[in-house]
Amino acid sequence: MKSKTIRRWSFIHTWTSLVCTVFLLLLALTGLPLIFHHEIEHLLGDAPQLREMPADTPHLNLAQLVQAAERHRPGDVVQYFGFDDDEPNAVLTIMAKTAGTEPNASHTFMLDARTGEALETPQANGGLMLFILRLHVDMFAGLPGKLLLAFMGVLFVLAIISGTVLYLPFMRRLQFGTVRHDKSTRLRWLDLHNLIGVVTLTWALVVGVTGVISACADLLIAAWRNDALTALVAPYRDAPPLTQLAPATRLLDIAAEVAPGMNPDFIAFPGTRFSSEHHYSVFMKGGTHLTSHLLTPVLIDASTLQVTAVAERPWYMDAMGMSQPLHFGDYGGMPMKILWATLDVLTIIVLGSGVYLWLVRRKAARPVPPIREAGA
C-alpha cells in the first residue's frame, strides 16, 4: 500500500471515528443495561406476575379482552394487542386516547388472557429503563434524533471499514495478536486497538448496520404504508369513518385460516399506523425459528370481518424484522447476552483507545513518518 493511500484511509478513519465517537459511546453505554432489560426489570420488581391458575384454564376471547381493557382505562381505545411465546397467558395491551396517537404517548400494560385482569407494567411507560431506552433510540428528540443516530451509525460502519484497511500496514511485521508491552503506553494501546477492533469486526458491523436499519424504522413503516397498504385499502378511500367496530372475537381464527402454519405476533387496531382506518391488521409470524422474525399482515375488514388481503412483505420490512434480534442479542439465551455485553464493552475500549491514540498523536505534533500518521 502506498503511503499516500494509507494517509487517505487514515484521514477517513480518523474523522469518521471522531465525529461518531461521542454518540457511539452513548449508544454503547446505554445499550449495555438494555441487553439485560428483562432481568433488570425483574430485579426492580417491575415485572408483572400472573396469578397461578391451572394450566388448562381457558382464555377469554379477544372481544372480551377489548372490553376488559376498556374497563381498565375508560375513555381510551385499544391500539395493539401483542402476543408473547414466553408468556402465553398474557396479552400485551397498548391503549391511547385515539388509535392514531403517537407511540410515546400510549399506555402499555398486560392483560391476563384467562381473567381479563389488568396488570400494570410500569417500566414500559416510564422509569429508568424507558429513560435509557429513549436515550438509546432517539435521545428524546423524536425522528430527527433517530436519523442523527442512524447517520452516526453509518459513520461508525465507515470507521470500521477504513480501520480494517489500515490494519494491513500496521500489522505487516507483526504476528496476529501481538501486544507490545515493553515499548510505550501508546504502542500497547495501538496494538490493543488493532487487536480488539479486528476480532470484534463482524459483531460491530452487524450491530451497527442493524442499528441503522432500526433507526430508520419510522421511514420504513411509512414506506410500507405507502407501497403496500395504500393499494390494498384503495377501495376504502371514500368510505365513511367507522363508528362501530365489528367485535374482535374471531380475528385470530380468521387470520390463521389464510396464513396456515403461522402464529400471531400482534394485532393493530383500525386507525393505528400499522393498519388502515377500516381494518384490523393481524401480523402473523413464520412458524420456524428463522421465519419467526418475519411478519405477514392479514388485513381484516373491521365492519364485515372479511379478509381484504394478505399483504405482501417487502424486502425492507424483512430486513427490519431480522435486524431486531441481531441488534438486541436476545435470541441465544443468557450466555449470548453475556457475550453481547462483553463485545459491547470491548467496543467501548476500542472507541476510548481510538480517542486516546488521536490525542497522543496530536500532542506529539512534530513531523512524523507516514506510518505514524495512520495511528489515530
Partner 1 sequence: MRPRQSNFWKVFSTPLVLALLSAAGLFAALLGDGVWDALSWIGLGIPAILALRGLLQRR
Interface residue list for partner 1 (CB under 8 A): 164, 167-168, 171-172, 176-177, 179, 181-182, 191-192, 195-196, 198-203, 206, 289-290, 293, 322, 325-326, 331-333, 335-336, 339-340, 342-343, 346, 349
Q: Which is nearer to partner 1, 194 or 275 (CB)?
A: 194
Whether the Cβ atoms of residue 296 and residue 282 lie closer than 8 Å to each other? no
Nearest CA to 375 among 185, 204, 182? 185
Q: CB 242: neighbour CB atoms within 10 A?
A: 16
Taking the complex as a whole, how short is the minimal distance between the CB of residue 70 and partner 1, in angstroms? Answer: 38
Taking the complex as a whole, how short is the minimal distance between the CB of residue 326 and partner 1, in angstroms? Answer: 6
Torsion (CA) 285, 288, 290, 295 in degrees, nearest 10: -10
Q: Which is nearer to partner 1, 146 or 293 (CB)?
A: 293
Q: Which is nearer to partner 1, 72 or 337 (CB)?
A: 337
State how far Cα 313 lies from the chain centre: 19
Q: Which is nearer to partner 1, 286 or 297 (CB)?
A: 286
In single-letter form, the type of residue at position 68 comes to: A
H/E stretch holding 107 reads strand 107-112
Q: Which is nearer to partner 1, 43 or 345 (CB)?
A: 345
Taking the complex as a whole, how short is the minimal distance between the CB of residue 26 and partner 1, in angstroms? Answer: 22
Taking the complex as a whole, how short is the minimal distance between the CB of residue 122 and partner 1, in angstroms? Answer: 31
Taking the complex as a whole, how short is the minimal distance between the CB of residue 14 and partner 1, in angstroms? Answer: 21
Nearest CA to 143 among 31, 225, 318, 151? 151
C-alpha–C-alpha distance, residues 92 and 71, integer Å? 16
Q: Which is nearer to partner 1, 202 or 304 (CB)?
A: 202
306-310: long-range contacts (C-beta < 8 A, 24 or more apart)? 307/254, 307/255, 307/257, 307/258, 308/232, 308/233, 308/279, 309/232, 310/258, 310/259
> 122 to each of 41, 70, 112, how far by Cα in Å?
9, 18, 16
Taking the complex as a whole, how short is the minimal distance between the CB of residue 376 and partner 1, in angstroms? Answer: 20
Taking the complex as a whole, how short is the minimal distance between the CB of residue 194 and partner 1, in angstroms? Answer: 10
C-alpha–C-alpha distance, residues 71 and 3, integer Å? 72
Taking the complex as a whole, how short is the minimal distance between the CB of residue 282 and partner 1, in angstroms? Answer: 24
Q: Which is nearer to partner 1, 72 or 293 (CB)?
A: 293
Q: Which is nearer to partner 1, 246 or 320 (CB)?
A: 320
C-alpha–C-alpha distance, residues 174 and 165, integer Å? 16
